[in-house]
A and B are shown apart, each in its own frame.
Chain A
Amino acid sequence: QVHLVESGGGLVQPGRSLTLSCAASEFTFSTYVMHWVRQAPGKGLQWLAGISYNGKNKYYADSVRGRFTISRDNSKSMLSLQMNRLRPEDTAIYFCAREMSASRFVDVWGQGATVTVSS
Chain B
Amino acid sequence: EIVLTQSPATLSLSPGERATLSCRASQSVSRYLAWYQQKPGQAPRLLIYDTSNRATGIPARFSGSGSETDFTLTISSLEPEDFAIYYCHQRGDWPPSFGQGTKVEIK
Which residues does A use to contact B, with CB under 8 Å? 44-47, 50, 59, 61-62, 95, 100, 103-107, 109-112
Contact = CB atoms under 8 A, between A and B. Distances in A.
A44 B87 contact: yes
Nearest to A106: B46
Main secondary structure of the interface of B (DSSP, over half): loop
Sort A-B residue pairs by CB-CB distance and give the 3 closest, nearest first.
A109-B43, A104-B91, A47-B96
Contacts, number: 48
Given A95-B43, A104-B32, A112-B43, A44 B49 contact: no
A66 B89 CA distance: 24
Interface residues of B, number: 25
Contact of A44 (B43, B55, B100): B100
Interface in B23-53: 32, 34, 36, 38, 42-46, 49-50, 53
A38 B7 CA distance: 22
Given A105-B89, A109-B43, A100 B49 contact: yes
A102 to B, nearest CB: 9
Given A45-B44, A103-B50, A109-B44, A61 B95 contact: yes
A45 B98 contact: yes
A79 B32 CA distance: 25
B55 to A, nearest CB: 6
Contacts of A45: 36, 38, 44, 87, 89, 98
